[in-house]
Amino acid sequence: MIPRPPAGPPGPPRREGPLRVALVDDSALFRAGLARLLELAGLTVVAQLPRATALAAVVQSLAPDVVLLDVRLPPTHTDEGIVSALELRAGRPDVGVLVLSTYAEGVWARQLFARGSAGLGYLLKDRVDDVPALIDAIRRVHDGGTVVDPEVVARLVESTTRRSALDRLSPREHAILTLMAEGRSNVGIGKALFLSPRTVEAHIASVFAKVPLDSEDNTSNRRVLAVLTFLQERSGRG
């Protein structure tokens, strides 16, 4: 489990009970539908916003545990969601953030995780229909974990027309890299692949050695950057 960063400025006292969620999306229909899904799953939706301009005030006054927000928000509908997510994490690292996107964009994902991965997630809107997976993602970012959409991960292991660092990975290392990017702990990876903890650690060390990273920070951040590096390469060629 990725440790949670230190809490930022104190907000209102947290309440016992269901997780409290704030939604930010400019589509009223999507917001209403998502709110209904979350409430039926036992979560409490404390706010629904069409844009992120009032998000900081809402977080301070209503103390959501997790914020879900679209990537493309008014006024430019480009990367306002990513920018707002990073601003929120900088000021309130105790609040989990799950970014929802229609597109599996490597540039946005890498921008989101560039300064740290704890308590952050990038999920495609198509996953909203899979309510158990969505709730699991929300709980994982709330607990300080990391969520990366499986489709984003899948793009990392697709064949490419030119040799990259990931071509040097073995099939087993590819599988471990995929599970790393999905936010699995070493224990979770071991259970999924029927490997011992020591074997998982050895494979992860090998991945780190083969995939060049632009960060020498903590291990948890390197786990995400290792799998997002290839996305940046593909985006640069696109």
Domain CATH for 82: 3.40.50.2300
Full-prediction pTM beyond 0.75? no
Examine the fold and report which residue of 127, 148, 169 is the final residue of a domain before the chain moves on.
148
Based on the structure, what is the number of domains in the chain?
Answer: 2
Q: Same domain, yes or no, for 209 and 176?
A: yes
Structural domain range at position 161: 153-237
Helices (H), the chain: 28-40, 55-62, 80-91, 106-113, 131-142, 150-156, 171-181, 186-193, 197-210, 219-237
In a domain, 92, yes or no: yes
In a domain, 167, yes or no: yes
Per-residue confidence in pLDDT tens, the chain, 238 aa: 333 334 444 444 445 679 999 999 999 999 999 999 999 999 999 999 999 999 999 999 999 999 999 998 988 888 889 889 999 988 999 999 999 988 777 677 777 887 788 899 998 988 888 899 899 999 999 999 888 887 766 654 443 333 466 677 788 888 888 787 777 889 999 999 999 988 898 888 888 777 766 545 556 566 666 666 644 544 444 4
In a domain, 8, yes or no: no
In a domain, 4, yes or no: no
In a domain, 11, yes or no: no
Contact (CB, 8 A) for 89 and 119: yes
Q: Same domain, yes or no, for 221 and 123?
A: no
Q: Same domain, yes or no, for 129 and 45?
A: yes
